Amino acid sequence: MGTSFVTLSTQECRDRLAATTVGRVAFCTSQGPRIYPVNFGVVDGSVVFRTAPYSDLGTLVVGAQVAFEVDELRPDEEVGWSVVVQGRAIRVEDSGEMTQLRRTIPEPWASGQRGMFVRVDPTRMSGRSVGSGR
């Protein structure tokens, strides 16, 4: 039979987005779509993550329309939720803002220099849950 999906309110989406630190950024390239996992934080309602300026993510995502997803799934319980944020990825250039972000955005799990900050200002946010995990 299955369980129906429940649409999450905007506030529920914001709460779930702010409660985790790992998500996925998705964007299109001339070779097709790409999805990268990133550590991130939420600052003033925007998703912010670090990357290396000369990485695929650093060179291809800036200025692009992106989707950003966070979720939690518990397959054994048939419970889960997902939140998707859509918006344009903007490179943070202001040195004062970057100083503040270094204090608030989690360090990436991946090794190497990740000194470039990218901000996604949401133009659309949606979410849904399934099962009793609402």
Per-residue model confidence (pLDDT) at position 2: 61
Whole-model pTM? Answer: 0.88
The encoded tokens of residue 109 equal 């799990």
Per-residue model confidence (pLDDT) at position 90: 94
134 occurs within a structural domain: no
One-letter amino acid at 2 equals G
131 occurs within a structural domain: no
Q: 38: domain range?
A: 5-125
132 occurs within a structural domain: no
Per-residue model confidence (pLDDT) at position 55: 87
Tally the domains of the chain: 1
The encoded tokens of residue 71 equal 């979720």
Helices (H) and strands (E) in the chain, counts: 3, 7
16 occurs within a structural domain: yes
130 occurs within a structural domain: no
133 occurs within a structural domain: no
22 occurs within a structural domain: yes
What CATH code is carried by the domain that includes residue 112?
2.30.110.10
60 occurs within a structural domain: yes
* pLDDT tens-place values along the chain, 134 residues long: 467 789 999 999 999 999 999 999 999 988 999 999 999 999 999 999 999 888 888 889 999 999 999 999 988 888 899 999 999 999 998 878 878 888 887 777 777 778 889 999 999 999 999 886 55
